[in-house]
Amino acid sequence: MPRTLLFSLLLLAGGVTPALAQLSPPPPAPGLGIPTVGGPEGSLPTVAGPVVVQQGFNPQWAEKMFPKLDHDFGTVARGSEAKYRLKLTNVFKETVHIRSAGTTCKCFQVKIPKDTLASLESTEVEIVVDTLKFEGERTSTMMITFDRPAYAEIPIPLHAYIRKDVGLTPGGAQFGNVPKGQPMDRKIQVNHVGRPDWKITELICKNEHIEAKATELARQPNGSTTYELVVSLKPTAPAGDFREQLTIVTDDAAGPQIPVVIEGRIEPDFYATPEFLDFGVVAPGTETTRNLVIRGRRAFKVTGIESETTAGTFEARLPKEGKAIQIVPITFVAPMTPGVITDEFSVVIDQSSEPIRFKAFGRVDPNKPRR
- Lowest pLDDT segment from 19-23, 176-180, 255-259: 19-23
pLDDT at residue 49 in the model: 37
Q: Among positive and negative, which fits the CA dihedral 33, 37, 38, 42?
A: negative
Q: Is residue 108 part of a domain?
A: yes
Element (H, E) at 273: strand 270-273
Residues 87 and 123 in one domain: yes
Q: Is residue 148 part of a domain?
A: yes
Q: Is residue 221 part of a domain?
A: yes
Distance CA 153, CA 142 (A): 10
Residues 311 and 253 in one domain: no
Given a contact cutoff of 8 angstroms between Cβ atoms, the answer to whether 335 and 362 are in contact is no
Residues 249 and 299 in one domain: no
The pLDDT-based confidence of 168 (bands split at 50, 70, 90) is very high
Which CATH number does the domain housing residue 202 bear? 2.60.40.10
Residue 3 CB contacts under 8 Å (≥ 6 apart), including other chains: 306, 307, 308, 346
Residue 123 has a CB neighbour count (10 Å cut-off) of: 19
Domain that holds residue 191: 165-266
CA separation, residue 305 to residues 17, 157, 288, 345 (Å): 16, 45, 18, 7
Given a contact cutoff of 8 angstroms between Cβ atoms, the answer to whether 95 and 149 are in contact is yes
Taking residues 47-75, report their average pLDDT. Answer: 71
Q: Is residue 38 part of a domain?
A: no
Q: Domain ends where: 250, 266, 282?
A: 266
Given a contact cutoff of 8 angstroms between Cβ atoms, the answer to whether 169 and 189 are in contact is yes
Q: Is residue 13 part of a domain?
A: yes
Helices and strands, number each (H, E), in the chain: 1, 27
| 257-267 and 173-179 beta bridge pairing | parallel
pLDDT at residue 21 in the model: 31
Residues 73 and 146 in one domain: yes
Residues 170 and 158 in one domain: no
Residues 278 and 340 in one domain: yes
Q: Domain ends where: 100, 134, 163?
A: 163
Residues 151 and 176 in one domain: no
Q: What is the average pLDDT value for the chain, to the nearest integer? A: 83
Q: Is residue 202 part of a domain?
A: yes
Residues 259 and 169 in one domain: yes
Distance CA 296, CA 291 (A): 16
Please, which residues bridge with residue 185 across strands?
232
The yes-or-no verdict on residue 40 having pLDDT over 80 is no
pLDDT at residue 152 in the model: 93
Residues 274 and 324 in one domain: yes
The yes-or-no verdict on residue 215 having pLDDT over 80 is yes
CA separation, residue 210 to residues 37, 122, 250, 259 (Å): 45, 29, 20, 15
Q: Is residue 53 part of a domain?
A: no
Q: Is residue 40 part of a domain?
A: no
Residues 290 and 347 in one domain: yes
Please, which residues bridge with residue 161 across strands?
75, 137
Residues 140 and 202 in one domain: no
Residues 301 and 220 in one domain: no
Q: Domain ends where: 115, 141, 163?
A: 163
User: Structural domain tally of the chain?
Assistant: 3
The yes-or-no verdict on residue 3 having pLDDT over 80 is no
Residue 172 CB contacts under 8 Å (≥ 6 apart), including other chains: 80, 81, 188, 260, 261, 262, 263
For residue 35, the SS3 value is: coil
Residue 203 has a CB neighbour count (10 Å cut-off) of: 17
The pLDDT-based confidence of 30 (bands split at 50, 70, 90) is very low
